[in-house]
Structure 1
Amino acid sequence: MTAFRFAVVAALAVTALAAAPATAQPLAEFYSTPVIDAGAHAGGDIVRRSHVGPPLGEGLGVDIERILYTSTDTHGDPMVVSGYTMTPQAPWPGPGPRPVIAYAPGTSGMADRCAGSAVLGTIGSSPAVLPLLLAGYAVAATDYRGLGTPGGHTYLNRLDAGHALLDVARAGVGNTGAPVVLFGYSEGGHAAGSAAELESSYAPELDIRGSYVGAPPADPSLNVDNLDNSSLAPALLYAVDGLVNAYPESADAILRQFNPAGRELLDASQNWCSTDPAANRAFRSADITSDGRSLGENLKDEPAASLIALNAVGYGRPSAPVLLSQSMSDDTVPVQQSRTLRDRWTAAGFTDLTYIEYPIPSVPVPGANHAPGGLIAYADVMPFIARVLAS
């Protein structure tokens, strides 16, 4: 199928999934009611589930469930993560159990109302879901730590995201022994790359056949200056919020680098979705730091520098084939991110890597050059998935 046809299918996915209710009180209670015995469960155990009926679900020919499942956070402690599963109602035509695509969504924001399972993929997620379902695969998607469930979202935290993706794969597979492909673009690319490195030690029982890693902000330290003083700058706030939420012991030291206006923005951004007007307003980071230096310069100081380094992907080694791709004109996640990840994996001795750069023409609209790299990649991603599942 051509990249254009996949783009059309993706647009239909956005329209079809847009009707998902996200504000009803029972749905809020689904996420907020405490899971008392989370620590007694193994990673990937589903501890709460809610069937999604028409107009979604059966109306689209798929069975959909919102789920809460158990995982392990960056400190090794148990955590509860939300997500969803989608399974086509048509019988799987291939041999063996229906494959599971463990799906890591792109950036949707920091607020619980942005969670992919709450809006069923309409923010940052939709383009991949319907093509995968049309191919007959089941989808198990994570919301990441703190999106949906109580607590702050730990944006671009390597272990939180990688564990959450592997555990939603466990939730999707259940006791079927189904093969798994990891799939992520943008923030999801960071998660998929992390999970690809972690799976042999964290989830060795999973039959992971490969990973698609698209436009990953694999090293957060390389994704600062290009966003500053642009309408994409709020993503810098998400990155700082992610550090504060994941490492509360370092929060005071990090927040001291911001002036009162900066701290106010950081607090506000914890409640933004990427579609909110406030999340698309330009600002100059030097105007919100306590010393007048740019955020890029401040993040080179401790403790932020060491924490960011802990969350860079590329210092491990995947144990299954990887397709890594990116648009050369991406202005949100520079192509140097993928080139750096490619080089780090290659230096680590990983050879089963397919690397593609797409020469997509740039348009003079900030942020508009990011999504096309994911859309055009479908023409390569879908055959890649079919190939690794057939191996």
Structure 2
Amino acid sequence: MTRIRCTVLIALLVTSLGAAPAQADPLTDFYSAPVPDIATRADGEVVRSIRVGPPLGDGLGLDIDRILYRTTNTQGHPTAVSGYTMTPTAPWPGPGPRPVIAYAPGTSGMADRCAGSAVLGTVGSSPAVLPLLLAGYAVAATDYVGLGTPGGHTYLERVDAAHALLDVARVGAADSGAPVVLFGYSEGGHAAGAAAELASSYAPELDVRGSYVGAPPADPTLNIDNLDNTPLAPALLYAVGGLINAHPEHAEQLRSQLNSNGQALLDQSQNWCSTDIAANRLLRSTDLTSDGRPLTTRLAQEPAASLMRANTVGYGIPSAPVLLSQSVSDDTVPIQQSRTLRDRWTAAGFTDLTYIEYPIPRVPVPGVNHAPGGLIAYGDVMPWIAGLLAR
């Protein structure tokens, strides 16, 4: 019965929310209108919200709001970030305040129209949180810096992702003192891992019980060669674009790593969603770099090398339990990512780590081996979260 209900909810969210285009005038203003007093707001403070009314929220037993909230970016500047909250209308049956799942979505692209709050229900957004909602938890999700809002998306920027996730957790918990669990897969796994490391210093007032970190591209340098010369290679353009968006002072040096064709594609990729045909083409980085060397070689040079190391998760220590899991057959984020992250954390003395590898058979179609690891993980993640909240 629960499986049937979940399927129906997914269909309703995808159909109905997807039918409300992000480009409608009220939503354009919501995302793009300036927030003149952003500097005076506190991190995690909501500066703008729009309630998603019937038939969605009321009809599904959820209170749903698109939100704009403040965070502090990697440059130390106050920044408005979009996201959404979903809260079941049924009373929380457990003791204490309703727990909050701070949700970091997987890669959806670089264009504002890809943001989870803009379409709420596309792959990587609402369907992934439905098991959490069915368990009675509130969900507070981030779109990440620059995805939905003005400015470029700072893809895989460690500090930006961690701060955006912790600040949306602040939105969800408000002043209730609710327990928080950080939750992310793929790009979201990178964000959840980064937030796990920074939670005690950036948001010490939050009651973070733990973090689910699924298939994280934790070390950007380990996620280049496996994508190169495949239909997944456009994600490499996202990575370069993310560095430029987060560090515009290095834009000229980073762009110079690419030839004119590579720079043109880099600019085009800023307007791609992962579901676009253009974002699923086979690319060889040797055709795009300025000297014909692979991108992995070019990004090993400065300033990219230092920037990518700074974006690596695993050099800090989480302050709460972590469940880290991945499929061994993942062809988008190689299993070596999780193994390396596990080894770095344990070498640093972190012991409250649950590590799981799923021996899912590999399918000979590029890209389809990534999502199954996230789906099968719910069987372990849900009871693990329940155990954290019972402490």
Q: Which residue of 1 aligns with 2:57?
A: 57
- Which residue of 1 is the match for residue 210 of structure 2? 210
SS at match of 1:182: strand
For 1:258, what is the secondary structure of its paired residue? coil
Work out whether residues 115 and 148 of structure 1, in 8 Å CA contact, stay in contact via their aligned partners in 2.
yes
Distance 1:384 1:32, change over 3 A: same
Quote the residue 1:119 is aligned against: 119
1:180–1:209: 8 Å Cα contact kept in structure 2?
yes
Q: Does the 8 Å contact 2:9/2:60 carry over to 1?
A: no
1:377 positional shift: 0.2
Q: Tell me what 1:260 maps to.
A: 260
1:17 correspondence with 2:13: yes
Question: Deviations 1:78-128 (Å, cap 9, x if unpaired)?
Answer: 111000000000000000000000000000000000000001141322342
Distance, in Å, in 1 between the alignment partners of 2:225 and 2:108 is: 21
- The answer to whether the 8 Å contact 1:85/1:138 transfers is yes
Please tell me whether the aligned partners of residues 114 and 123 of structure 1 are also in contact (alpha carbons under 8 angstroms): no
Equivalent residue letter for 1:199: A
Does the 8 Å CA contact 1:13/1:129 hold for their aligned counterparts? no
Comparing 305-314 with 119-128, which one deviates more in the overlay? 119-128
- Alignment length (residue pairs): 387
Which residue of the partner structure matches residue 386 of structure 2? 386
Cα distance in 2, alignment partners of residues 10 and 134 from structure 1: 8
The percent of aligned pairs where both chains have the same amino acid is 74
**Aligned residue runs from structure 1 range 108-187, under 5 A:** 108-187=108-187
* 8 A Cα contact 1:10 1:128, kept in partner: no
1:90 counterpart residue number: 90
* TM superposition shift of 1:304: 0.6
**1:288 correspondence with 2:288:** yes
In the TM superposition, what is the alpha-carbon distance from 1:232 to its structure 2 partner? 0.3
1:336 maps to 336
Shift of 1:240: 0.3
Distance, in Å, in 2 between the alignment partners of 1:376 and 1:236 is 27
Measured in 2, the distance between the counterparts of 1:312 and 1:205 equals: 25
Matched letter for residue 54 of structure 2 = P
Q: CA RMSD in A?
A: 1.3
Distance 1:351 1:122 in 2: 36
For residues 254-278 of structure 1, the C-alpha deviation after alignment (integer angstroms, 9 at most, x for no partner) is 1011111100000000000000000
Residue type matched to 1:39 in 2? A
Map of 1:355 onto structure 2: 355
Instruction: State the Cα deviation string for residues 157-215 of structure 1 (Å, max 9, x = none).
Output: 00000000000000111111100000000000000000000000000000000100000
Q: How is 1:235-314 mapped onto 2 (pairs within 5 angstroms)? A: 235-314=235-314
Provide closer, same or farther for how the CA distance between residues 224 and 13 of structure 1 changes in structure 2, counting only shifts above 3 A. Answer: farther
What's the offset of the Cα at 1:24?
1.2
Corresponding letter in the other structure for 2:310: L
Give, in angstroms, the shift of residue 13 of structure 1: 4.8
The 10-residue stretch of structure 1 (150-159 or 125-134) with the greater mean CA deviation from structure 2: 125-134
* Structure 1 CA distance for aligned equivalents of residues 56 and 282 of structure 2: 36
> Mean Cα displacement is larger for which, 229-238 or 125-134?
125-134
Question: Which region of structure 1 is more displaced relative to structure 2, 55-64 or 31-40?
Answer: 55-64
- Please give the per-residue CA displacement for 1:50-75, whole angstroms capped at 9, x wherever unaligned: 00012321121100000000001001
Q: Following the alignment from structure 1 to structure 2, what is the Cα–Cα distance between the partners of residues 212 and 128?
A: 13
Q: Which amino acid aligns with 2:268?
A: A
Deviations 1:260-297 (A, max 9, x none): 11000000000000000000111111001110011111
Aligned mates of 2:7, 2:74 — CA distance in 1: 35
For the 8 Å contact 1:14–1:122, the answer to whether it is kept is: no
Counterpart secondary structure, 1:377: helix
Counterpart CA distance in 1 for 2:10 and 2:123 is: 9
Query: Counterpart amino acid of 1:161?
Result: A
Deviation at 1:39, TM superposition (A): 0.8
Q: 1:285 to 1:12 in 2, by over 3 A?
A: farther
In structure 2, C-alpha distance between the alignment counterparts of 1:304 and 1:205, rounded to whole Å: 34
How far the C-alpha of 1:355 sits from its partner, in A, is 0.1
Query: Do the aligned residues in 2 keep the contact of 1:327 with 1:359 (CA within 8 Å)?
Result: yes
What TM-score, normalized to structure 2? 0.97
Decide whether the 8 Å contact of 1:72 with 1:163 is kept in 2: yes
Letter matched to residue 122 of structure 2:
T
Letter in 1 for 2:90: A
Task: Rate the CA distance shift 1:177–1:314 in 2: closer, same or farther, 3 A.
Answer: same
Task: Specify the SS of the correspondent of 1:86.
Answer: strand
Contact 1:184/1:190 (CA < 8 Å) preserved in 2?
A: yes
For 1:187 and 1:13, how far apart are their aligned partners in 2? 24
Q: Normalised by the size of structure 1, how large is the TM-score? A: 0.97
C-alpha distance in 1 between matches for 2:84 and 2:68: 8
Q: Which runs of 5+ in 1 are unaligned?
A: none
Once the two structures are TM-superposed, the CA of residue 77 in structure 1 deviates from its matched residue by: 1.2
How far apart, CA to CA, are the structure 2 residues paired with 1:215 and 1:153?
Answer: 21
